[in-house]
Each structure stands twice: as C-alpha cells, then as structure tokens.
C-alpha cells in the first residue's frame, strides 16, 4: 500500500454483488488514484494471505459460540423473557429460530427496516417494541457475561481472535502512513454486527450491542508537525477515544497516541485473558 487509494474488504466471499454495490455507492470518490477490492472468506475480515490474523480454529469457535449463546438463553436468561419469546414460535418468519438474537434480526430485516408493522400471531398477540428493547438488553448482558466468564465459554477466545484481525488491519494502515506521511488512504471494511460486537467488547467500550444494520466504527489517523501519529476512534459518529482504557489518561481533544494502540495490540489485548498470552498461543500458530 504505497499509493493513494481506497481499499475495500467485504466479508463473506468474492461475490460480484459486493463489488457492484460498493462501486455504485462510491462513485463520488472517482478522483482517487485507485480502488482495490479484496475479500474475506470469513466474517472477521482476515484474508487468506494475512498471516497475522489467520486462525484455522476461529470458524469452529464461532459455531460453538452460537450454540453456547442459544444455550445460555435457555438456561440463564430470565424466565419471564423466555415466556414472552414463545410468541416468536407462532410467527412464520421466526418459527424455526431458537435464539433472541435471531428473533431480533428477523424483526429488523423483515419489518422494521422496511417500515412494516411488527407481526402478530393468529390469536392477535403482537411483537412490541417494548419486547424488542428487552431482547436487546438481554443480548447485551448475555454477550458481556459470556465474555468475562472466560474458560466457561468459547466467547472470549473467538472474540479475541476476531478483534485481533481488525485491530491488526488498523495498525498495518498506520505502518504505511509512517513510512510515507504524504500517503492518503481509506480502508473500508464491510462486515456484520458479529464483527463489530467482538471488536467493541475487546476494546472494553461496548455500552450495548451495536444497532443492527446501522453501525460503523471509524479510526482516523492524524500527524503533528513532527510526524508523530495520533488516532481518533468514533462509534456511530460519537468520539469514543477517551473511553478506551488505554487512552483515558493519555488522550487530548479526542486524540490518543498511536503508540498506545500498538501497545494494546501487542500486550493489553492479551491481559483480558487468563489463558492466552498472545495470538500465537491462542490459535496455536
């Protein structure tokens, strides 16, 4: 990455539709020297050639995580919420689903984003926004609890691997800027809620689960006259830099030294775990 440009990485695979949608919506950036597209065969945005984030176990961990996630709802979520969620078993769009995350995803995708009324069952019992709020709160609580419980769940393991990939990409872009401060780059990573959630949780700034279909994290990089580099982190348009544990004492005007992010990536990230001291020990590579 030695030239100006926009670098795009959609998650999921090399489907032409990904590229078409990006091209249609980024036509105003035509003045850039080039637009490069790579793809990730997984949802945590690690391409095959990127050894620093490659983790062969991560796919199986994600499947196990989703199974444990659903099991947590059955065993540990409030009984009153479980009773209310029986309504989703009566609705065609969610009849085969077993987890609140799936219920909410279906309601957002099929109804809310299309400005449709929330559905009702044959008896006239309807999904309410109040119930959606309860589910949203529970998915947030459940995700955090499974993460901090460490060895009892796979959550911490898989989310450390997934967050490592995105933070590593940030630092690779920053490294290119350090080599040539005149370079202008935009790196756009397009993924899912299940990508942002682990990232924000590992950074310890997750106030709640990211809003479905409507969330973004932006890392901006700045330099001063001496070419020292600083970054600013935004979540859905709000500056979150000062909420980062490793920047709370070292930030000014929403900026934090890039060195603090590098130190977190190398060491602080792994202090979150009692089992693993590095990406190598986590993924066995």
- What is the pLDDT, as a whole number, of residue 224? 87
pLDDT digits (tens, 9 = 90+) for 171-203: 988 888 788 767 666 777 777 677 788 899 999
pLDDT for residue 3 is more than 50: no
User: C-alpha distances in angstroms, 138 versus 111, 126, 209?
Assistant: 21, 20, 10
| Three-class DSSP category at 229 | strand
Q: Are 269 and 261 in contact (CB under 8 A)?
A: no
Between CA 177 and CA 230 the distance in angstroms is: 11
Give the mean pLDDT of 40-55: 76
- What is the pLDDT, as a whole number, of residue 210? 77
Percentage, residues of the chain above pLDDT 90:
52
- What is the pLDDT, as a whole number, of residue 190? 72
pTM of this prediction exceeds 0.95: no
Q: CA nearest 113: which of 41, 212, 21, 187?
A: 212
Q: Tell me the pLDDT band of 249, cut-offs 50, 70 and 90.
A: confident
Residue 97 is classified by DSSP as -
pLDDT for residue 213 is more than 70: yes
Q: Which two tokens stand for residue 265?
A: 């990536």
pLDDT for residue 22 is more than 50: yes
Range name among 90-99, 209-218, 239-248 with the lowest pLDDT average: 209-218
Between CA 184 and CA 4 the distance in angstroms is: 5
Q: Which two tokens stand for residue 114?
A: 């299309």
Half-sphere exposure of 174 (CA within 13 A, CB side): 23
Q: CA nearest 223: which of 188, 262, 257?
A: 257
Question: Which residues partner with 238 through β-bridges?
Answer: 235
3-state DSSP percent of the chain in helix, strand and coil, to 5: 50, 15, 40
What is the pairing mode between strands 251-252 and 238-239? unpaired
pLDDT digits (tens, 9 = 90+) for 67-114: 999 999 999 999 999 999 999 999 999 999 999 989 998 999 899 989
């Amino acid at each position: 990455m030695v030239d100006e440009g926009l670098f795009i990485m959609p998650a999921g695979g090399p489907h032409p539709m990904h590229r078409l949608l990006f091209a249609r919506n980024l036509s105003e950036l035509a003045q850039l020297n080039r637009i490069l597209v790579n793809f990730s065969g997984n949802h945590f945005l690690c391409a095959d050639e990127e050894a620093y984030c490659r983790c062969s176990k991560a796919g199986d961990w994600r499947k196990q995580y989703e199974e444990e996630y659903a099991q947590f709802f059955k065993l540990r979520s409030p009984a009153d919420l479980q009773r209310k969620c029986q309504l989703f078993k009566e609705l065609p769009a969610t009849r085969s689903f077993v987890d609140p995350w799936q219920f909410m995803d279906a309601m957002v995708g099929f109804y809310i984003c299309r400005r449709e009324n929330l559905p009702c069952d044959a008896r006239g019992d309807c999904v309410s926004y109040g119930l959606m709020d309860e589910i949203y709160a529970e998915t947030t609580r459940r995700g955090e609890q499974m993460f901090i419980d460490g060895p009892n769940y796979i959550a911490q393991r898989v989310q450390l691997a997934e967050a490592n990939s995105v933070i590593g990409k940030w630092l690779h872009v920053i490294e290119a800027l350090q080599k040539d401060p005149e370079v202008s780059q935009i790196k756009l990573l397009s993924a899912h809620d299940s990508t942002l959630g682990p990232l924000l949780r590992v950074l310890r700034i997750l106030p709640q689960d990211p809003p479905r279909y409507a969330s973004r994290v932006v890392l901006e990089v700045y330099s001063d006259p001496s070419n020292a580099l600083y970054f600013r982190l935004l979540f859905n348009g709000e500056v979150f830099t000062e909420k980062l544990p490793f920047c709370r004492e070292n930030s000014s005007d929403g900026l934090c030294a890039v060195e603090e992010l590098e130190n977190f990536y190398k060491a602080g990230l792994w202090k979150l775990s009692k089992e693993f001291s590095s990406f190598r020990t986590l993924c066995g590579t």
